[in-house]
Amino acid sequence: MGTTIEIASADGHKLAAYRAAPAGKARGAVVVIQEIFGVNSHIQSVADGYAADGYVAIAPAMYDRVKRDYETGYAPPDIEAGRAIMQQLDWTHTMHDVDAAVAQAKSAGKVAIVGFCWGGTVAWVAAARNAQLACAVAYYPGGIANFADEAPRCSVMCHFGEQDKSPTPEQAKAVMAKHPSVVAHFYPAGHGFNCDQRASHDSSSAALARTRTLHFLREQIG
């Protein structure tokens, strides 16, 4: 359904991105930020889903700075490898790449960012640092506690698992208490509950989170 494009960051780095477009006029755009597993088939299917709902969806290959064309599954060795790459990234370059994706998406209208796992943390940080975003949605952002003092500059919705350890519900609630304007939902699920390729997938929680996210996007970007 989608195609691979190339986008350029402010520092000259060029990265790939998966782009999916709606059949008709776009309601706006959604930048989809990967988990630690790259822009794999699941992230591509997420982007395709937003395109089916009327949005231009762009999923930048955030790991291209370390390893190009990286995508993997969800076995324990994949998790270890994904974390190792993530630890080689720095937040300045990561935000450059988000900014490039947002700039690419702007021709479709207002832009939202939706991120999962590590990408959820990226979405949270981007909400505080990128003034071009209309809204942000963070699914189980494992590193959010490290950025608790970053104040969102746009409307934000967060989805957390009550059985998650990254972040724990206690960590999530502590951050949310600092930012009462953020809409937070908790689900009877663990980490990665949205991903239908993971053992932790919870279909009812994923469906409810998606319904809430789409309603939020309708309100914020069209």
pLDDT at 94: 98
Catalytic residues: 117, 164, 191
Tell me phi and psi for residue 89, to 5 degrees.
-90, 155
pLDDT (tens digit, 9 = 90+) per residue, 20-72? 999 999 999 999 999 999 999 999 999 999 999 999 999 999 999 999 999 99
* Angle, helix 118-129 to helix 91-105, in steps of 10 degrees: 80
pLDDT at 91: 98
Mean pLDDT for the stretch of residues 173-180: 98
Helices (H), the chain: 41-52, 76-86, 91-105, 118-129, 169-178, 203-220
Closest by Cα among 144, 147, 163, 173 to 201: 163
pLDDT band at residue 6 using 50, 70 and 90 as cut-offs: very high
Task: Please state which of the four CATH numbers 3.30.1490.100, 3.40.50.1820, 2.102.10.10, 3.30.499.10 is assigned to the domain occupying 3-220.
Answer: 3.40.50.1820
pLDDT higher than 80, residue 210: yes
Specify the pairing of strand 111-116 against strand 135-139.
parallel
pLDDT (tens digit, 9 = 90+) per residue, 64-86? 999 999 999 999 999 999 999 99
Mean pLDDT for the stretch of residues 78-102: 97
Domain residue ranges in the chain? 3-220
